[in-house]
Amino acid sequence: MSIELDHSFTVPVPPERAWDVLLDVQRIAPAMPGATVDSVEDDVVTGRIKVKVGPVQLTYRGTAKFTDRDPDARAVVVEASGKETRGAGTASATVRAALHPESTGDATKVTMHTTMNVTGRPAQFGRGVMAEVSGRLVEQFAANLAAMITGDGGGSGHGGSGDGGGSGDGGTAEAAAATSGTAEAATATSETAAGAPAPVADTSAAPAAPAAQQAETSLNLVRLVGPVIGKRALPLAAAAAAGAGITLLVIRLRHGRQA
């Protein structure tokens, strides 16, 4: 399953300052909810992402690294790949990020174009669900990143936007029952808080992100996926209700004739 996604968000600092942070992999990696950094060597980050979907827990282990940098254009390319630790599923992504100065001069717009390929159990949601969930996670990442950049833990990125393009017949979370429209299958939790950066294995290597010392809480993805599934399941639910009504009517007519 292949998909392309476009996102953007704003951080409250000039491009030159945002650029320095963007190149610091030890700082930006923990800002992504659900991620745990195991090690950082030069520009290569090794880590894990754990996601729980009902009773099923998925763990991806892999690496991410910078493959291109353009200081003049303030643009970077990041290649990431991972594999399920208890399955054959894989995930890979190429992320192209660029910084653009806002008209005010004291803020920076960050644009991201992601080309992603997912195989295995997670490839069960549609592209629309994947785009919706990715957009919400990028918003959380933007808030964490803005807090890091401002250095006081109180900064916040302006709302990010997400747009899914390309093609694909799968999605981001493993939830078999989701294809039947059940809300239970959309209930998923990650190991980190929605508003707090993920923990870093070696905190001495780089400054910890704001709120990194807080106790782990759950990130309930039902709020992200549930509404999307609801929209897609509504026509099916209406058709099912109509079918049930017709069936009951036929049964009553038969009983009436037999009586």
Q: What is the pLDDT of residues 165-223, one digit of tens each?
A: 443 333 333 333 333 333 333 333 344 333 344 444 443 444 444 433 333 333 444 44
Nearest Cα to Cα of residue 96 among 79, 76, 120, 69: 76
Tell me if 143 sits within 8 A of 195, measured CB to CB: yes
> What average pLDDT does range 18-45 have in this prediction?
83
| pLDDT value at residue 69 | 93
Rounded CA-CA distance 68/45 in Å is 15
Residue type, 80: A
Q: Identify which of 39-53, 129-143, 172-186, 235-249 has the greatest average pLDDT.
A: 39-53
| Interatomic CA distance for residues 59 and 52, integer angstroms | 9
Distance CA 205, CA 214 (A): 19
Most confident of 97-101, 209-213, 214-218, 253-257: 97-101
Residue 76 predicted with pLDDT over 90:
yes
| Structure-model confidence comparison of residues 17 and 157, the more confident one | 17
* Higher per-residue confidence, 180 vs 112: 112
Residue 244 is predicted with a pLDDT of 57
pLDDT tens per residue across span 144-157: 877 777 764 334 44
DSSP 60: E
Q: Is 198 exposed, middle or buried (0-12, 13-18, 19+ CB in 10 A)?
A: buried
Rounded-to-integer distance, Cα 170 and Cα 7, Å: 19
Under the banding of pLDDT at 50, 70 and 90, the label for residue 116 is confident
Q: Give me the domains of the chain, ranges plus CATH numbers.
A: 2-233 (3.30.530.20)
- Higher local confidence (pLDDT), 153 or 119: 119
Q: Which of 108, 91, 107 is nearest to 3 (CA)?
A: 91
Q: Please report the pLDDT score of residue 55 as a whole number.
A: 59
Query: How far from 115 is each of 3, 9, 97, 215, 259, CA to CA, in Å?
Result: 6, 18, 12, 33, 65
Asked if residue 188 lies in contact with residue 225, where contact means CB atoms within 8 angstroms, the answer is yes
pTM of the model: 0.61
For residue 13, the model assigns a pLDDT of 87
Which pLDDT band holds residue 57 (cuts at 50, 70, 90)?
confident
- Secondary structure of the chain: what % helix, strand, coil (to 5)? 30, 35, 35
User: What share of the chain in percent tops pLDDT 70?
Assistant: 54
> CB-based contacts of 25: which residues, under 8 Å, 6+ apart?
40, 43, 45, 64, 66
Specify the pLDDT at position 209: 41
Name the amino acid, one letter, at 103. S
